[in-house]
Structure 1
Amino acid sequence: MAMYKGAASEAGRAMHLKKKREKALEELELRKKRIEEELKLSTMENKFAAHYDAVEQQLKSSTIGLVTLDEMKAKQEDVVKERERQLAQRQQERELQRQREIQKKREQQERQRRQIAALSFKLDDDEEEEEEEEEKDYDEEKEEVKEKAEVKENEEMKEKEETKEKEEAKEKE
């Protein structure tokens, strides 16, 4: 690439814009990869997975002898709810992993900014504003994850209460 010839201040501005473009391209590539991974995982499981119904298998292994229709339905509901909890927990773990990756990236950027600030007397206001916006976005995402976790916990508590009530009703009968 040809070198920029002109005033030093213009060269600095050109370098700043170049870095900004590179940063935007990197973020775009990360987003593309993340989307591709999500799509690839969902389609591969659907296309080539052997038919293995974990719910059905667990139900078969937990059922011994003859049981009434009501008991069978209750066990089936419990097994399905347990499977849903496991899937929700896996999803939550993925979200937490993604949040950790974002946090590591932010920490690395912060370290780089500190190193640059220690070496340079000039602070770029544009970069600081961008970092503040990123921090706000991160905080919002973090709040969303917390809210989702609270909702899931509430649902699990309700399900546990319902199962206890069903068991108590069966014992009374």
Structure 2
Amino acid sequence: MSAADFGRLIHLSKKRERAKEDAEKQKQKLEDEAKKITIEISEKFTPHSSNKEEMIKASTVGLVTLDEMKQKNKELLRESDHIITGKKHHKEKHPERHKSKDEVKVVQKRILSFNPDEEEEETPIVLKKRVGMDPTVDTSFLPDKERELETIMKKEELVKEWRELQEKEKNDQVNVSYCYWDGSGHRKDMK
């Protein structure tokens, strides 16, 4: 076998390996797409009963008065409002941040009141200088306690406003006009 034939064989074997790898990649891509499609289809045909409905069903066994039902419904709405606004999670999120600034300053100022060498020399306290901040930099992605509280307050206001609108619409009276025929036309209004 000549060197040219040997080179051609190596070239063909590499070409076959590349074709095999491409076929494997395409096969993997098709399998991924098939999995994705089955997941999407299964999501489309899931029941949409809310957690609230399940909680109401679980808590109301047997005959329940209207007042009890309304009370349980209000409690569940409050819970869902807290979930929506994230109010409960915000308090539990950073429990270590509750130290006051004075406590932190006291911890930083602690210095030995005596010199182990018994010398009267005082070492100058070196103050750490802050690196200047650039006001043009976008810091909206950084965690900010004030911004988080502001968004929670906005969410609470929106939830409250939405609940008020719902109650207002529920309490509105609807005027229904209807007619019927029994030899002559009758038109009536009902609220």
- Using structure 2 for the length normalisation, give the TM-score: 0.37
Which one has the bigger strand percentage?
2
Which one has the bigger helix percentage?
1
Q: Which structure is richer in relative contact order (CA contacts within 8 A, separation 6 or more)?
A: 1
- Using structure 1 for the length normalisation, give the TM-score: 0.40
